[in-house]
Structure 1
């Protein structure tokens, strides 16, 4: 299968690219190379004859048409997006332009290509989204997001992703474009750009800096190891039912405080500091505006219909992630000078 992967130089997209090549697929990686992208993320497959790179912005319709015509993909895996909630609070316009208008242009380019090709039944447009479109859950562990949970986005980021989800469904209903959708929980793992919680905690701990936790740390997230997610996404694009959406979760709910404490314990074991624990650096900071209390995914549909479930526990995944950052200092140091990294964003 030849896959056109948008955002393939980003965190999740690069995991998909690496896994797809390993699984024997051909990949066209389309990426605008904005601040959070890094071609080092796909360096391990860059010389493969099954890999091609296109430096293209998803808002550039003419460039998209050229890419479709040049490569004739069997499926699109659309991951390109602005994804940092804090940045969306400070600059929502970029999120609307990329996540909404960019998805619109991707859909139109894909539809034009699919129509010219005779509307092949095997073609797929796989839109990758987030559980944040569903809003916030109560503390009750019996309550989880399902594929039928009403949308209730609370941040500019989640609102822009909800908008893009609606566009994809509308193109399926109106034009018959064969789509599949997925909504995932919080990802973590190797190559995670150093502005998100897990890498911020690891790198601040190593630097002797405060470990910032919003509010009282009680906000709960379901944590999904990125390589598990990549496996699930490739399964959905090949075997998912047309028009169907699938929630992909890690089955690993943890409060932010518990997650940070776990990271500190792993670091205490792998690289002990002189005197005390890394947990001594934990600092509680003013909460983010509109901070959702809890996310949790019910992954029953993908488990029952496609036979997938996560293979990595959060403790195992965090240990792998910490070790990866310890072993790849050159990678993350090169990114620390990029715009906004290491600064508090999204204060409203």
Structure 2
């Protein structure tokens, strides 16, 4: 039997989120997995159509309780309490066993329904403060594109909503299907839930003066064989002390942070140059193409060659290529 997905609409919802939900769950993808999804739309007020998501079928809210998955799009104004009928419908669906997927500020609906008490959740960065202030028992995580709590899933923004929807596809149909769909939609491969993008230096170190100089020193030497001991010596602290400061400021060990910076540099070189994978491995301090492929694949989800092809295809679809960027040769 196909998994039933209910898109819950109300006045003021995000048309972009609704369109994305329909594109992922409401379009026939049986060429990827058969059966695909049984997609339906539910309205909470006098809205009876949604041009932005091209709805063919509108269902009654009472049918939500029989849905396997309920999608709650973003609301336009989080300063006002979500409609009581919307909150109640989400709560009833969850109590009936539905998996609830909230995008962007749709997280506020789940919080108002009491579904996030003591649980991790995320929302758009501009509203994380409001979410934490209004619902102090929610464990707000502003560093990850989406949070998977099993029966409750939330995303950080509209672009992250597609990441979350593809994560749901991965849960339901497997990694191969999710990657095939991402390729079909000309999207990058998806990171695992909870995998935050490494923060910028200024954001990660804050007022930690022990790390400020050493991180700047390292980023200028990513092509060299810098070790954790070298970093500790540069910071004039023990390796153990350096590790403690790294964990407190970045949430990573020194080696994890160093590898993340090297992978990010590799991504930039793949995007902006025609250097071979072997040349990029040297420039990023990875040494060999095999080492680069191993760490790049583990972090990004695909080999560097696939990432470059995806980036090039995206630029070509957009009709714009950055000035001075050559077409990368086939590897």
Scaled to the shorter chain, the TM-score interval is 0.3 to 0.5
Which structure's residues are more often strand, by fraction? 1
Larger helix proportion of the pair: 2
Highest RCO, 1 vs 2 (Cα 8 Å, sep ≥ 6): 1
Larger radius of gyration: 2
TM-score of the aligned structures, taking structure 2 as reference length: 0.35
Query: TM-score, normalising length from structure 1?
Result: 0.34
